[in-house]
Amino acid sequence: GNVSAWAPSAPAGSSTVRLDRSDPSAPTVAGGSLAWQSVTSVSITASGSTDAGGSGPAAYEHRTSTNGGATWSSAAAGAPVTVSAQGETLVELRAVDGAGNTSAWVPATVRIDRTAPSAPSVAGGSSSWQASGPVGISASGSTDTGGSGLAPYEYRTSLNGGAWSAATAGAAANVAAEGTTQVQFRSVDGAGNASAWTKGSATA
């Protein structure tokens, strides 16, 4: 019935068991938007995860997709995530605890378009004087490669070489004022990028 002392006398790793089978809670993700933006980059952040299993939230992981979720990059450690690529990028983040358990992925979307659309073709004017009006001037043919797509055209007018009017949305303008009216158009995309005004100089 004789007994030894309890061993080890102090806690040691070889005599300790730590179990955590509980997934951490999903993080709160911020920074994404379905709106197109003309920006250099967008930062997606993750925060707020908790872990009830005891090992504590250790890190966040992220993955991205640039083809609508058909394929994803490998999970990588880190948050926030900085997205600078043009087009639509899907981002997902999750929490990882000290035992390697993971939360569900939480999604975010980033849409960046920094490319101006092409300038439109303008038609309908004439250098000949006319006795009746109004005369219609129109714009067409612009394209957008940045991803956000074309928004409405804009036009502005200048009468007899005077100051330009404020930009007005529209692909056509009807001119009824006497004198010489110059009309310029530009195309605008869904992120707010705009082409140059055209025609660039007074021309029929």
pTM above 0.85, yes or no: no
pLDDT tens column, 40-67 = 999 999 999 999 888 888 899 999 999 9
In tens, the pLDDT along 144-201 reads 999 999 999 999 999 998 899 999 999 999 999 999 999 999 999 999 999 999 988 7
pLDDT interval class at 15 (50, 70, 90): confident
Mean pLDDT of the chain: 93
Q: What is the pLDDT of residue 203?
A: 66
- Please write the tens of the pLDDT for every residue from 56-105: 888 999 999 999 999 999 999 988 999 999 999 999 999 999 999 999 99
Q: What tokens does 112 get?
A: 């960046």
